[in-house]
Structure 1
């Protein structure tokens, strides 16, 4: 059994004169990431690996989750290729994951993550919101074999407001 947990980056700020990749989180993005990460922690899912897009807003969201999980930030693998908005690169990455890992969390971007949720999950998601989390379970032993799975968990910031 394999489980992928997709987390869209928190709400980012457009108030700074920086590249898209360097945009920081807004205060709301920080607050929402704390809400979702604390809710996920109560599910007691043991994570084998955590990956993040190299974009500032994705990695900053990831850092919040990792601190809530009481893990070392150094345990996160940051990859430029996860700065993907279409989804195929993330799907290829998922299918190439080490089979020793059963539960993997990835921090990234829309439209890629909403598309992946709908390609692989069994619950339609119109739009994965910022700081939103979706877990999908696959009844396979190897990541390369993932196809349609079961959406086992959704946690959205609006659930707490």
Structure 2
């Protein structure tokens, strides 16, 4: 991948931490403190801090799982036993979790990511008061002056 995340999987957290610091112009610890002080001031910062924390946690789980697997493999003969395979599956699951969280952090860092502009518009729409009814309140107009059947009007859907 060209985003740098998959090219250097061992330092995903470091790479994204740098990107967070560049984007917000402060260290992650400062950003965490700012978000803690005013969690609603900048929704992007709040989301990034939350998911960065989850990413750091997932990286820690992955490192412990890798250490456990390595220790088990060093005591194994040429065949891997079931408990060691379970450790390998644990490492795989931890990588998947870490990478998924990295993708979420990357998403929140990119204001032009697909879906981000729609999310911003949706957030704005929630802040604006409604100016009219949310649903149609009258029977739909039918071409040719033919009224809709009463059953369709009662059900709230136009007849076909």
Higher RCO, 1 vs 2 (CA within 8 Å, ≥6 residues apart): 1
Question: Which structure features the higher share of helix residues?
Answer: 2
Question: Which structure features the higher share of strand residues?
Answer: 1
Fold shared by both chains (TM-score > 0.5):
no
The TM-score normalised by the length of structure 1 is 0.26
The TM-score normalised by the length of structure 2 is 0.26
